[in-house]
Amino acid sequence: MTSIDSSPIPDYSAMLRLDGKGLIVVGAGQGIGRQTAAALAQAGANVMCCDIRGDLAHEIAAEIDATPWVGDATRRDEVERLVSEASAALGRIDGFVDIIGMAHYSDAVAVDDEHWNWQFDIVLRHAFLLSQLVGHSMQATGGGTMVFVCSVSGYTASPQTAPYGAAKAALMSWIRSIADELGPSGIRANGVAPGMVFTPRVSGLIGEPGRALVAGLTPLQRMGVPSDIAAAALFLTSDLSSFVTGQTLLVDGGITNRFPYPMAELAKMSGVASPPPPPAVAHASEGSP
């Protein structure tokens, strides 16, 4: 304590730990899902690695000494089975991270009904089912956490993937609503919105030239990797974020924060010189809104 502050200092490193927690990672087989499952396991959680592909579910579970589960999280009967089997295997369910999502590439005016419906199912249906069914389980056992992987496409225009962007924007709205409804039950719901991430799937599409192109457009001068998103999911699952709910954290290297107009070039064209910086002023804030 100090002369004006007697509040206790918590063990922040312990707040990151998940020892004994039973956590589900849906879409754990590769990329962001694999890294997230590993991050939670390293923090002490008992993890169930879920994937629609049995080989991938078993591979990641073996890699991190976790429990595999194979099924389709877009089907209600399968998610009911997941809740039952996870409760038995883990003792109780303390939370989940939902990684599932994929984009269909097409001009917006060319998207047919089949692909529109598929896009919303692959982004939203599993989130809806997991929120309901795992949510009921966590309400009964005293609370927990929900983390959903969203996308910068839900914040910005999403050319060539307009239905995907619309579905991700809806997912962020869903997160806000369930956080409000489930908060009194001790359940927190949050999202992580990645920019373009160099996952195994994306690396196969754009290769190293695409990676260099994206890095050049990003303020931090690199493309995101799956572990960047896993680290954010770990934070939102841990007690370090115990007063955070209903939020979606952008993890994009600053690309959505970049001002789109070339102001330096325009300033040169106009002959306007940049003004000198103002003098530094020392100040402190205390609980400012």
Domains of the chain: 18-254 (3.40.50.720)
How many Å apart are CA 90 and CA 255, to the nearest integer?
39
Q: Sorting pLDDT into bands at 50, 70 and 90, what band is 273?
A: low
Give tens-digit pLDDT for 63-73.
999 999 999 99
* Res. 258: pLDDT tops 60: yes
- The pLDDT assigned to 152 comes to 96
The H or E element containing residue 187 is strand 187-194
- The pLDDT assigned to 150 comes to 98
* Res. 23: pLDDT tops 60: yes
Over 8-52, what HEC string results?
A: CCCCHHHHCCCCCCEEEEECCCCHHHHHHHHHHHHCCCEEEEEEC
Which pTM value belongs to this model? 0.92
Mean pLDDT of all residues in 160-173: 97
Q: Sorting pLDDT into bands at 50, 70 and 90, what band is 280?
A: low
Question: When comparing pLDDT for 104 and 48, which is higher?
Answer: 48
- The pLDDT assigned to 276 comes to 64
* Res. 284: pLDDT tops 60: no
Give tens-digit pLDDT for 113-145.
999 999 999 999 999 999 999 999 999 999 999
List residues with catalytic annotation: 164
- The pLDDT assigned to 55 comes to 97
In the three-class reduction of DSSP (H, G, I as helix; E, B as strand; rest coil), residue 189 is classed as strand
Angle at 189 between CA 188 and CA 194, to 5 degrees: 140
In the three-class reduction of DSSP (H, G, I as helix; E, B as strand; rest coil), residue 230 is classed as helix
- The pLDDT assigned to 264 comes to 83
Give tens-digit pLDDT for 74-119.
999 999 999 999 999 999 999 999 999 999 999 999 999 999 999 9
Q: What is the mean pLDDT of the chain?
A: 94
